[in-house]
Structure 1
Amino acid sequence: MKKRDISDPTSWWYQAAIHGIGFKTYTENPLGHNNMHEWSEDSIWKKAKGIPQNTIQAEALADEMKDKHFWQQCQHGSWYFLPWHRMYLYFFERIVSKTIQDLGGPDDWTLPYWNYFNAFNPKLTPKLKEKALFIPQEFGFFCNDTHQTQPNPDFPGLWIEERQSYKLNPRTPDHPGDLWDTSSMQSTGFVGEGPDGFGGEITDFSHNGRYFGALENNPHNTVHDEIGGTMGDPNTAALDPIFWLHHANIDRLWQSWIENGNTDTTDKKWLNQVFYFHNEHGEKVSLSPSDVLNTQQLDYTYSENYSGLNQTEPVIHKSYLRGTFVLDTIAASIKPLSLNSTPISTSLDFISSEKTKVVLTHIGTESSPAPTAVYVSLENITGAGNIAPVHIFIKLPNSKERFFVGSLGLFGLTQASSPSTHSAGQGLNVQLNATEIVHQLRAHPQWKLEDIHIEVEPSRALGAANATIGRISIKAEV
């Protein structure tokens, strides 16, 4: 497929460009292996067979194909995120399968998935849990002795030099991590922003959306950003072969969420939206979400369902999802917060209102009823470059203690910060559910809601990347 011209819909290059393509010339040189060279979107895409080597001409081609609804079509920050990527995987699998058969291979090849959630499976041994966190060995190795990566000699085509990390960082009870199985799978509604909505918020066509649904933020975004390199940029992500196994797992999790008793939206706008692709014969085809509600509609199933072995009660209250109340902003930062490679914190100003007084009375004391919902909201996050997942903590006054709220992935940060036909350039917005941690902290002897700080810490050094959080706020309902 890599030998085919980028104009061929069945080529590796064309398929990757469906997700995203760009020709930014600023240099990416993430901290990592000794053999990781400087690269840019421009340098990566100029490797494609048939791509114009003149950047202006290459950009013109990309714009032309975008206008035809073929390239730069991935849906992010949108309720179309899950169905669009299912369609994308479906046609990619058929194209690869036909290519294998044309080369004399078997006729039963199927796209595998990377089950990193096995890291949380209590039925597995510690060794198998640890193994689940590593990119499958067919895709290459990271050598601890030389700090270099190398391809698996049996599968050299699955290695890409610009891959930064080969292991994911899981969350454990005593360790803040980027990967967390229950952060999204406990959501009980499909439509909504952040923890409210498993599938994302209502949008039109959304190539570079601002508001992520629960599954898109974690594990989708955090895995993209943790692996880094080309995987950390929507315009190059699908050039890394591990992209397809990651998204197959995301697709599996959607199917598992449905099989575990949840339901998709029945909104006709969502069901009937049309997206265009090419099949294994290079023919133009189209599908709508109504065509892909269940994998069996596309004649495939997954070998293993995710049953949520660690789940107890849903973290999102159904009364909230039904819209019986709304969250109120009770406090917010007053200055933007620029990230650096060390922890940085900000205080919050509490909004003077009768509603805030009521909320403070309830949340601020251990003897009061437990809060119904408390969210930490990070708004207008702008910047450029690939940034590893960012850890968010609540820090108590006059104390060095900090308590982990969650991780956010800034996948698509550069695109969301750049004004275009797809984006106003206002950056990303992410919400994290802090209900349980606030409930626990109310028993802490130094707990005083009015004096808490929010601390932000990237999980890896930023390198040449940068990001600024426009506002951090606390939203609550009692």
Structure 2
Amino acid sequence: MARIRRNVWSLAQPWDPVLLWYARGVQVLKTRPFADVTSWRYLAAIHGVEEQIWREFGWLKPAEHLPQTPEFKKQDQGQCQHHGWYFVPWHRGYLAAFEAIVRAAIEKLPGAPKDWALPYWDYNSKAVANPRLLPEAFAKNVWPDGGDNPLFDKRRYGRGDGVVVIRPEDVDTKTALTDGQFEGVTNGSPGFGGVRTPFQHDADRDHEGWLEQVPHDVVHGRVGGSQAGQDPNDWRSAGLMSMPETAGLDPIFWLHHANIDRLWEVWRKRDASHKNPVLSSWLNGPAGRHKFILPQPNGTRKQFAPKDMLDTTAPGLNYVYEDISDPFAGQQRLSARLRTLSMAIPGAQGVAGPEVSSVAKKPTVELLGANAKAVMLSNAPTSTTIKVDKPTARKVTNSFKMNEFTARSVPEPDRVFLNLENITSDNNAAVFDVYVGLPEGADPAAHPDNRAGVVSLFGARAATNMAKPHGGSGMTKVLEITDTIDRLHLSGNADLSNLSVLFVPVSSVGAGGVSIKRVSIYRQSS
């Protein structure tokens, strides 16, 4: 029978047996030497590792070094997949290996359960008033067994003082779950799962999907944060969860990723048109020497591919989630105008979603316009203006003009995307909101409809590193602004040829800590 991964908020707080046994298992793994492939540090280093950082943070003793085995040096360290379409299947395999190793450690302890499964942190749960709080078992350095709590970590800075504050908009899953395509396109919609990429550990080619952008990246930045009073651009001030090189060392990492994995199941099950890629280049994993290989409880290492990760009840996985219900009751992604029309016209409701979400052919993406120079963000709101090509803009507005609407055919208008290109920064914990088309001098908080979304720079430091293959070109973030452009067009008061974009810091950015080389807008037509 498949084991059940349960929502941490459906467990008794703070020390339900599931969490207590997790802490005991973590404690066992932390006692094992680094070179042991089932140790806490070895498993974390698979996600990412940098010797200088680990030494500074106390995870390497003065006389210690990283494991010197060929397997670790050539294959295991820094294997995690980010910023591309292998993100969700690789992390599913990673979680499964970790869960099996922790379970094996637990089962050797007196009175241990035989069906323990890793819980997940549902930060949108309805079970408690504020599910975005850090569960208490992780927040305090006390636990029933005495001594230091294995689930607590002092380098979890949150807003700067150790208190984790996550806003509802930081974990809004609607964009990810209502996009019907797994694979995205460059400059347009990145899709649920990302744009096609080869093996990709760092953000040298930045093509992360909606799920990886929000809530994955944002939760990393909001939990890890950076230490108050220190330079956020200095990695020494960063929390563990803020950096891919250290994130796996924080016990909350695994519950966060269990929820990300659960959301893949939610996306897949909520609509019959939601399909995983069927291309062999995705199903079989990266070509060449880069293979996905992870440790097993007996100390061996096992190779896997995305095709092995499609059924959570299959041998080697053998789990289900307590809740994979649809939080949006079958809604599909529709423009503001289409939603309005579908509500107004009898018989139209319930048919728009499947029509719109089942686009099969590859969409066309075209540049609408861009700003004139790089933008340097600071701790104060920063703005730029995009010059939009008028003939191309007319294609967008013409697509919004619908002359017919029937229950059998729903012509979808163009989608519009804001691209923040070549973002460079050493501040992995930076988080900022983006607003489009605000009236001059307006208070952003008073115009929620102009908010394009939230951006986290989790992984930016590595993407900015000049020693990387792409020469520190940074990362690119994509935000959909179709509804905002539609509303501005309908109002008739906005100048769409000169579109303002405002960046509002949510966390400390630091002086000159973030550069965006270009801010551009693209239209995507189906």
- TM-score, length-normalised on structure 1? 0.83
Does the Cα contact within 8 Å between 1:187 and 1:196 map onto a contact in 2?
no
2:284 corresponds in structure 1 to 272
Query: Do structure 1's residue 108 and structure 2's residue 104 form an aligned pair?
Result: no
Secondary structure at 2:321 match in 1: coil
The residue type equivalent to 1:418 in the other structure is N
Query: Among 194, 197, 216, which residue is 1:200 paired with?
Result: 194
1:64-463 paired onto structure 2 within 5 Å = 67-104=73-110, 105-118=112-125, 121=126, 128-130=128-130, 132-141=131-140, 150-151=141-142, 156-165=149-158, 166-171=163-168, 177-193=169-185, 195-209=189-203, 210-228=206-224, 229-260=239-270, 261=272, 262-273=274-285, 274-297=291-314, 298-309=317-328, 312-315=331-334, 318=356, 322-323=360-361, 325-351=363-389, 354-359=391-396, 371-400=413-442, 402=444, 403-420=450-467, 423-444=470-491, 446-463=493-510
Residue 21 of structure 2 corresponds to: none
Deviations 1:12-33 (A, max 9, x none): 0001000000134xxxxxxxxx
The answer to whether the 8 Å contact 1:393/1:406 transfers is yes
> 1:306 deviation in Å?
3.6
- Which sits farther off after the overlay, 150-159 or 202-211? 150-159
Note if contact 1:413-1:427 (Cα within 8 Å) is conserved in structure 2: yes
Number of residues paired by the alignment? 433
Contact 1:139 1:242 in 2 (8 A): yes
8 Å Cα contact 1:113-1:246 kept in structure 2:
yes
* 1:276 partner letter: I
For the residues of structure 1 that align with 2:217 and 2:106, how far apart are their CA atoms? 30
**Same amino acid, percent of matched pairs:** 32
Say whether the 8 Å CA contact 1:380–1:469 is kept in structure 2: yes
Distance in structure 1 (CA, Å) of the matches to 2:517 and 2:69: 31
Cα distance in 1 for residues equivalent to 2:69 and 2:469: 12
Show the 5 A alignment for 1:5-16. Answer: 5-16=33-44
| Contact 1:137 1:152 (8 Å CA) reproduced | no
* Amino acid of the structure 2 residue aligned with 1:134: L
Superposed CA RMSD in Å reads 2.8
1:404 counterpart letter in structure 2: R
Give 3-state SS (helix, strand or coil) of 1:116's partner: coil
How many Å apart are 1:107 and its aligned residue?
A: 1.9
CA distance 1:477–1:107, shift in 2 (3 Å): closer
Give the direction of change, closer, same or farther, for the CA distance of 1:399–1:327 in structure 2 (3 Å limit).
farther
Give CA deviations for 1:69-123 in whole Å, capped at 9, x if unaligned.
11100000111100100000001001001111112222221100001122xx5xx
**Residue identity matched to 1:345:** S
SS in 2 for 1:108: coil
**What is the CA-CA distance between 1:197 and the residue it aligns to?**
1.2
Q: How far apart are residue 450 of structure 1 and its match?
A: 1.4
Q: 1:111 to 1:344 in 2, by over 3 A?
A: same
> Structure 1 CA distance, aligned partners of 2:430 and 2:80?
21
Aligned-pair distance for 1:386? Answer: 2.6
Distance 1:151 1:450, change over 3 A: farther
CA distance in 1, matches of 2:453, 2:392: 26
Q: Counterparts of 1:7 and 1:257 in 2: how far apart (Å)?
A: 38
Contiguous gaps of at least 5 residues in structure 1: 25-39, 142-149, 172-176
CA–CA separation in structure 2 for the residues paired with 1:47 and 1:103: 25
- Give the partner amino acid of 1:265: P
Measure how far apart 1:463 and its partner are. 4.1
Partner-residue secondary structure (3-state), 1:158:
coil
Deviations 1:242-277 (A, max 9, x none): 000000000011011111131100010111124101
CA distance in 1, matches of 2:376, 2:520: 15
The answer on whether the counterparts of 2:427 and 2:457 sit within 8 Å (CA) in structure 1 is: no
Instruction: Say which SS state the counterpart of residue 448 (structure 1) adopts.
Output: coil
1:37 — aligned with what? none
The separation in 2 between residues aligned to 1:65 and 1:341, in whole angstroms, is 43
Q: In the alignment, is the contact (CA less than 8 A) between 1:178 and 1:389 conserved in 2? A: no
In the superposition, relative to structure 1, how do residues 77 and 330 fare at CA in structure 2: closer, same or farther (>3 Å)? same
| Counterpart code for 2:333 | P
Q: Residue 318 and residue 267 in structure 1: after superposition, are their counterparts in 2 closer, same or farther (change >3 A)?
A: farther
1:221/1:269 CA distance change after superposition, 3 Å: same
**CA–CA distance in structure 2, aligned partners of residues 73 and 43 of structure 1:** 22
**In 2, Cα distance between the equivalents of 1:7 and 1:242?**
23
Letter in 1 for 2:258: A
Maintained 8 Å contact 1:152/1:159: no
Rounded to whole Å, the distance in 2 between the matches of 1:323 and 1:52 is: 57
Quick one: structure 1 residues 379 and 79, their matched pair in 2 at CA, closer, same or farther if it must change by over 3 Å? same
Contact kept, 8 Å, 1:272 with 1:288, in 2: the verdict is yes
Which consecutive segments of 4 or more residues in structure 1 shift more than 6 A?
360-363, 365-370
Q: C-alpha displacement at 1:453, in angstroms?
A: 0.7
Offset at residue 361 of structure 1 (A):
6.5
Once residues 444 and 269 of structure 1 are traced to their aligned partners in structure 2, the CA distance between those partners, rounded to angstroms, is 46
Instruction: Give, in angstroms, the shift of residue 411 of structure 1.
Output: 1.0
2: CA distance, partners of 1:476 / 1:335: 21
Q: Distance in 1 between matches of 2:470 and 2:118?
A: 32
Report the Cα distance in structure 2 between the residues aligned to 1:242 and 1:4, rounded to whole angstroms: 20
SS in 2 for 1:73: coil
Residues 386 and 465 in structure 1, CA contact (< 8 A), matched pair in contact too? no
Partner deviation per Cα, 1:160-186 (whole Å, 9 max, x = no partner): 001012544334xxxxx3221202111
- Any conservation in 2 of the 1:191–1:201 contact (CA below 8 Å)? yes
Alignment of 1:45-56 (within 5 A): 46-48=58-60, 52-53=63-64
